[in-house]
Structure 1
Amino acid sequence: MVTTYRKGEHGQTIVEKKNAASIERLYEDMGRYLASDIHVITYQPGSTNLANPGTGQVDFVPKHLLVLAQQRMKLLQEHQKEWVLTHGDFGIHNVLYTDDHQLTVLDWEWASWAHPLTDVSWVCWFTAFHYPKQAPRWNQTFLQAYQQHRTLRITENTLQAYAVANVWKILQKVQQAPRHVQQEWVRRLEWTLAHSFSYD
């Protein structure tokens, strides 16, 4: 493993300072960078396998939420020809950002070959969940910047479907975690299923 020092301020620190102009630039540059620097790396048959954990069973999720989640995830567009390199946890919580627009992406342990909406939806989910009042503006800025650099069909329903799938992957990862952790992610699943991902 090789590590190096990278300049920049943590994305969440920038958001917490509540400098509107800086936050807008951050979301715009995240959209640009994700589209033009990460998602341009497309899957080629025979590429090193980066396992996508899928959407398997999670026993502690209430049945009514399981049924709803399965219905939403039917919209997933998982065709290898559409796969790109995805970060798996992309967002303001995993970037460093400088005043001259340099972006460094941190924590790549969840990287996988997957549909680009895996990352796009997670930015929108994280922002909406943690910053609900500001999310419509910030997510719209992010989505517009992304689509200026990469063509991608994004709808309210597909954003939600991929957000649900991302939460489901975390639910799978916390199956051996303490009960309060499991229940918190069940709560987040329920929130995700009820949330509107409309940013027109």
Structure 2
Amino acid sequence: MSRYGQLNQMVAAHFPGARLLSFEVLSGGVSANVARLDIALSGGSTRSIILREHGVTHDGHNLDVEFALLNTLNSAGLAVPKPLARDDSQTLLDHPYLLLEFVEGSTEIPAEQVDARISIMAEHLPSIHAVPTASLPPLPRIIDPVPELLEVIPDHPEWSKLMQGARALTNTAYDGEPVLLHCDFYPRNILWNEEGAIEAVIDWEDASIGDPLFDVACTCLELRYLHGKPGEQSFREAWERHHTIEPMRFALWQAYAAAWGLENMGNWKLEASTEQAMRQEALDTISEAANIIGC
């Protein structure tokens, strides 16, 4: 059966009497295959939905957790796509999948609006952290940066001082109330409307519970990948207008995020020049963090 025929069959199973009009594969996904489906409903109206299919490289939450999380966040009023259906039978499609409401918006940021959008991101992230964790499905915990860092730092003489410095630290775990973490909060996981406001935050497959500084550190690194050191500094300054940052724990989380990136970005389907530039930013981030850690 053709891909169109397969998707048309799936649409009819979830929306009786509906048929597929067209579909568009969306770029940007690494562990999930994402497409926009335009469908004609039985009553004659049309609707757009998002298909999020867990591919063979998927390593995030399973369907039940991802569906429950999105449903809870949507019910809590958070700007996320509403989940519509899920199926892990692999009878309709080759892989487990979610169907989500389509949210109009763009992940692109005009160059002249970068700083303004970064400030909006810093203002929005606390709303994610404020979601009551008791209402969430079971999620991984990210509390202490040291064991996370030691797990991903390569066993190589170049990194030995950083490893020794991290091992010598004590009381590095976050001792506050654990919060909901997106774990990949950066511009390309944000849908913006034409006025520059956030319509939805997408890609919750790595969401966890833990130290809010982990989200801050990851966002700073992602913005550094996209916009260089000024991007990181812009977010940090916007964040610190309302929140404090504990320098040592922040440096440990940044070193971890950068080391994890170095280990995994070869799987992100990047252009060679982009990957080379990102690797250099990650190395510089680790070097700067090591200076703060005292290595």
TM-score, with length taken from structure 1: 0.69
**1:38 aligned partner:** 128
Distance 1:157 1:50 in 2: 26
Q: CA deviation at 1:30?
A: 0.9
Q: Within 5 Å, which residues of 2 pair with 1:61-100?
A: 61-65=155-159, 67-69=161-163, 71-72=165-166, 74=169, 76-79=172-175, 81-98=176-193, 99=195
Distance 1:59 1:119 in 2: 19
Q: Residue 111 of structure 2 is aligned with which of 7, 12, 18?
A: 18
> Which range moved further: 48-57 or 183-192?
183-192
Provide Cα deviations, 1:45-75, integer angstroms capped at 9, x if missing partner. x963312476263485424425415635847
Contact map agreement 2:221 2:258 (CA 8 A) in 1 = no
Identity across the alignment (%): 19
The letter of the residue matching 1:124 is: C
Distance 1:127 1:160 in 2: 16
State the secondary structure of the residue aligned to 1:109: coil
Q: Residue 29 of structure 1 is aligned with which of 115, 120, 126?
A: 120
Cα distance, 1:59–1:83 mapped onto 2, change above 3 Å: closer
State the secondary structure of the residue aligned to 2:124: helix
Contact map agreement 1:24 1:141 (CA 8 A) in 2 = no
Cα distance, 1:47–1:103 mapped onto 2, change above 3 Å: closer
State the secondary structure of the residue aligned to 1:85: strand
**1:8 aligned partner:** 105
The answer for unaligned runs of 5 or more in structure 2 is 1-97
The structure carrying a bigger strand percent of its residues is: 2
Contact map agreement 1:87 1:111 (CA 8 A) in 2 = yes
The letter of the residue matching 1:65 is: W
**RMSD value over aligned CA atoms?**
3.8
Q: CA deviation at 1:5?
A: 1.0
Cα distance, 1:133–1:169 mapped onto 2, change above 3 Å: closer
* Match status 1:159 vs 2:255: no
Q: Indicate the structure whose relative CO is greater, using CA pairs within 8 Å and at least 6 residues apart.
A: 1
**1:50 aligned partner:** 139
The structure carrying a bigger helix percent of its residues is: 1
Distance 1:112 1:18 in 2: 31
The letter of the residue matching 2:207 is: A
Contact map agreement 1:41 1:84 (CA 8 A) in 2 = yes
**2:216 aligned partner:** 120
Provide Cα deviations, 1:136-169, integer angstroms capped at 9, x if missing partner. 6522453146x2xxxx430443322111222344
Contact map agreement 1:69 1:193 (CA 8 A) in 2 = no
* Match status 1:109 vs 2:205: yes
The answer for unaligned runs of 5 or more in structure 1 is none
Q: CA deviation at 1:86?
A: 0.2
Greater Cα radius of gyration, structure 1 or 2? 2
State the secondary structure of the residue aligned to 2:258: helix
State the secondary structure of the residue aligned to 1:164: helix
Contact map agreement 2:153 2:163 (CA 8 A) in 1 = no
Contact map agreement 2:228 2:281 (CA 8 A) in 1 = no
TM-score, with length taken from structure 2: 0.49
Contact map agreement 1:27 1:141 (CA 8 A) in 2 = no
Q: Provide the aligned length of Structure 1 versus Structure 2.
A: 180
Cα distance, 1:96–1:72 mapped onto 2, change above 3 Å: farther
